[in-house]
Amino acid sequence: MTVTVESQVDRLENELRPYYGIHKITWRNLMSSRGAEGFWGTLGQLYHAMNLGVPLMRAAGRRASTLGPEYAEFAHWCEHHADEEAPHVEWLLNDVAKAGRDRQAMVDAFPEPEILAFMGTQFALVEQVDPVAILGYIYVAEGHPNQPDGLQALAARFDLPLEAFDTLLFHTEADTEHGEEIAELIERYATSERRHQALVASGRAFLTGWSSYFSRLSTQSPAQS
């Protein structure tokens, strides 16, 4: 009799699966009700999430570096990945400008409460539980990239300029490689029930945060948002 041992990534996926479904449904509802306006609003909040993600990774790396040699590989990954992701925030703003939108308005717009809440959860997990926790949210974000044909169909359906999708399209390829790298780190570091639950909490906060944002905007009239 062969006993199959569930991988740490499979275990994480199984616990987060219900939230993936809600995430997709609320996104579709938002786009159905708000169209291009829903896309631009989401892109603006994605900017804020990405902009907070870089200092989050640096904070996780700093804390990990104080916790002993076991965390050395993770701390190095945090610094390397933060350096890699930092320019992408500017890329996204450039996409907005190329598409004829006001990039400074996106910078100046206040982050929505759902985005502040789920990113705040990530910082709390880093400082109070375990810095490795952020692998949960980053795995969800980068281990399940958008597909190019889906983004192109979205642009065509709502008459959106393809220039607005340059950074998103770049990540459809880059995140496939990143997802594999993050999965390897999860297998290495999810060595206790506490760490596993921290990863789940991180990924769940990301998915439910975006889902709540999509759901709220899909039920509001343009005048209310």
| CATH number for the domain harbouring residue 208 | 1.20.910.10
The answer to whether residue 87 sits within a structural domain is yes
pLDDT, one tens digit per residue, over 85-142 is 999 999 999 999 999 999 999 999 999 999 999 999 999 999 999 999 999 999 998 8
| CB contact at 8 A, 44 and 110 | no
pLDDT value of residue 149: 85
Count up the domains in the chain and report the number: 1
What is the model's pTM? 0.90
pLDDT value of residue 225: 53
The answer to whether residue 174 sits within a structural domain is yes
Longest dimension (CA), the chain: 63
The model's confidence at residue 1, banded by pLDDT at 50, 70 and 90, is: very low
Segment 39-63 shows an average pLDDT of: 96
The answer to whether residue 150 sits within a structural domain is yes
CA distance 10 to 128: 25
pLDDT value of residue 147: 77
Q: Is 125 left (phi over 0), alpha (psi -120 to 50) or beta?
A: alpha
The answer to whether residue 2 sits within a structural domain is no
The model's confidence at residue 221, banded by pLDDT at 50, 70 and 90, is: low
The answer to whether residue 1 sits within a structural domain is no
Long-range contacts, 186-195 (Cβ 8 Å, 24+): 186/8, 186/9, 186/12, 186/135, 186/139, 187/7, 187/8, 187/9, 188/73, 189/74, 189/132, 189/135, 190/8, 190/11, 190/12, 190/132, 194/129, 194/130, 195/130, 195/132, 195/133
pLDDT value of residue 4: 44
pLDDT value of residue 71: 95
The answer to whether residue 194 sits within a structural domain is yes
pLDDT value of residue 2: 39
User: Is the model's pLDDT at 151 over the cut of 80?
Assistant: yes
User: Is the model's pLDDT at 77 over the cut of 90?
Assistant: yes
The answer to whether residue 223 sits within a structural domain is no
Q: Which of 6, 38, 13 is nearest to 144 (CA)?
A: 13
45: domain range? 8-218
User: Is the model's pLDDT at 224 over the cut of 70?
Assistant: no
Long-range contacts, 103-111 (Cβ 8 Å, 24+): 106/43, 106/44, 106/47, 107/47, 109/44, 109/48, 111/45, 111/48, 111/52
pLDDT value of residue 223: 52
- If you count DSSP H runs as helices and E runs as strands, how many of each does the chain have, helices first? 8, 0
The answer to whether residue 3 sits within a structural domain is no
